[in-house]
Amino acid sequence: MKPMRFSWKNICLPISCINNNTNQKTTTNPSKERLLLLSRQNSVPSKVYMSDFSNSTISLNDLSSSFLVNIHIFTYEELKTITQGFSKYNYLGEGGFGEVYKGFVDDSFKTGLKAQPVAVKALKREGGQGHREWLAEVIILGQLKHPHLVNLIGYCCEDDHRLLVYEYMERGNLEEHLFQKYGGALPWLTRVKILLGAAKGLEFLHKQEKPVIYRDFKPSNILLSSDFSSKLSDFGLATDGSEEEDSNFTKSVMGTEGYAAPEYISAGHLTTMSDVFSFGVVLLEMLTARNAVEKYRAKKGRNLVEWGRPMLKDPNKLERIIDPSLEGKYSVEGIRKVAVLTYQCLSHNPKSRPTMTTVVKTLQPILDLKDIQNGPFVYIVPVAGSIEVHDIKCKDDVKVVKEETEKEAKVCPRHQAGRRKRRKHKAMKSRAVYSDTALYKSLGSSLYTPAN
């Protein structure tokens, strides 16, 4: 028996995917009637919501591209060209819904589209999985524009191909920098700047007429530009409204283990406060540089929230959980304020959590705190009876300090030079203490140091 091939053509998609047909049969479906009414109002773009697609009877012709803001429509061949045939050399990675490739468009590629690098995500076509997520990206990012939301440039809806084209973010995502430490540990102010930008993105979503619940806030979905400005990406699980506002709300729990709010996991209760809890988890990851779930650890320490939250309110215990790679180069006052905010965001009672507006107002002043040690880290090894100190300069402003005892000073001059040479090499190996001075230079700390 010949296997049947899945086709997307019978699923609701934006009208630009096919030719417009105005001779539609009338329906009593309220969502469909609303869409048909809005599609005729071409003079003023109106908003559509994910809840408008809850009924599968809505056809391809029920939507108009007039809902989308500055969105380009690409052919599959065009995207194949700009990614060099989806070459493995342009491969950036793979998410839950498809592979991502880097491409480049020039000025002559499309009218109104400037020359720029882009990221092209191709949705997996096996079965019907991923259609809702693809559509969510088009509907939400096609209508909402904000400095801290990744910019959707366009999409391809051709035959069985479903692709999305985004702006290219040079520094990848936060997960790569926070946990894999490419190029060294992220400086404290850089971490605050990244999370502040992400908080502003969530605040914008929550303030919509019908709040957008992101539902999958985690480091891998926070993209970074060349100057470490952050933008939210991957809106496949996002939805608008909440259980109280939407009678069609689904109780199916979706997201990533370790980030979902407890009330969402236990009862499917999804509100904007669910995003606040997820934000608190990422704040805790920022403080500790530990993943939300680490299965290789002892059972008691596998879940980051269960392990770390009790220590956030105790200043003595707080110091134990701070990421050691920061080497003490952070604002003590800033750390404590972030710890208190994290504790509040991770409250088991949704009503006790702050709004994202409060989160933004709390994080903003932390960038202005100046009690941060920026100089090279120097460690002096105390030796009993020392009488003089010699500084040996090493590259990257790292200092190795050696002390000589009175006994060493009395050694016969003939043997002293040889012993001193051996001790010098030994000190270079065992007593060197490295700082992040070079890291600050390479990552451009001046971008994040407050002006006087």
CA distance 200 to 361: 10
- Binding site for ATP, by residue number, is 121
d(CA 266, CA 309): 20
411 three-state secondary structure: coil
- Predicted local confidence at residue 273, as pLDDT: 97
Structure-token match 């009395």, residue found: 410
CATH of the domain spanning 15-167: 3.30.200.20
Task: State how far the Cα of 200 lies from the Cα of 232, in Å rounded to an integer.
Answer: 10
Q: Stretch 366-377: mean pLDDT, rounded?
A: 73
User: Smallest Cα–Cα separation from 216: which of 239, 247, 199?
Assistant: 239
Instruction: Give the pLDDT confidence of 288-308 residue by residue, as tens digits.
Output: 999 999 877 776 768 999 999
Do 169 and 231 touch, CB atoms closer than 8 A?
yes
pLDDT value at residue 254: 82
pLDDT, tens only, 41-71: 554 456 777 766 654 444 334 455 557 778 8
Is the pLDDT assigned to residue 343 strictly greater than 60? Answer: yes
Task: Kindly report the backbone phi and psi dihedral angles of residue 133, in degrees, each rounded to the nearest multiple of 5, phi listed first.
Answer: -70, -40
pLDDT at 186 over 80: yes
Annotated binding site: which residue ranges?
Answer: 121
Average pLDDT over residues 166-183: 89
Tell me the per-residue pLDDT of 326-339, one tens digit each, with 9 for 90 and over.
Answer: 999 999 999 999 99
Residues with a known catalytic role: 216
Which two structure tokens, joined as six digits, stand for 374? 């920026």
- List all residues 6 or more positions away from 285 whose beta carbon is below 8 Å from its beta carbon: 178, 219, 291, 292, 304
Class of the CATH-defined domain 174-368? mainly alpha
Q: How far apart are CA 361 and CA 352, in angstroms?
A: 17
Residue 431 reports pLDDT greater than 80? no
**Could you give the CA distance from residue 193 to residue 333 in angstroms, rounded to a whole number?**
16
Mean pLDDT of 251-264: 86
Does the pLDDT of residue 275 top 50, yes or no? yes
Q: Is the dihedral of CA 409, 415, 416, 422 positive or negative?
A: negative
The rounded distance, in Å, linking the Cα atoms of 292 and 278 is 10
Instruction: Check residue 27 and give its pLDDT.
Output: 47
DSSP 183-220: TSPPPHHHHHHHHHHHHHHHHHHHTSSSPEE-----GG
* Prediction pTM value: 0.75
DSSP 276-339: HHHHHHHHHHHHH---SB-TTS-GGGSBHHHHHGGGTT-HHHHHHHS-GGGTT-S-HHHHHHHH
Q: Is residue 23 over pLDDT 80?
A: no
Between CA 192 and CA 233 the distance in angstroms is: 19
Q: Which helix (H) or strand (E) holds 343?
A: helix 332-345
Burial class (CB in 10 A: 0-12, 13-18, 19+), 272: buried
* Cα-based distances in Å from 247 to 30, 210, 216, 256, 444: 13, 14, 22, 25, 50
Please name the residue that has the structure tokens 């709040």. Answer: 211
CA terminus-to-terminus distance, the chain:
75
Which one, of 7, 13, 18, 17, lies nearest residue 125 by Cα?
7
pLDDT at residue 217 tops 60: yes
What span, in angstroms and rounded, lies between the C-alpha atoms of 240 and 243? 10
Determine the residue type at 424: K
Percent of the chain residues past pLDDT 70, beyond the cut: 63
How far is 415 from 399, CA to CA, in rounded Å? 26
- Ranges of each domain in the chain: 15-167, 174-368, 386-434
3-state secondary structure at position 174: helix
Mean pLDDT over residues 230-255, rounded?
A: 72
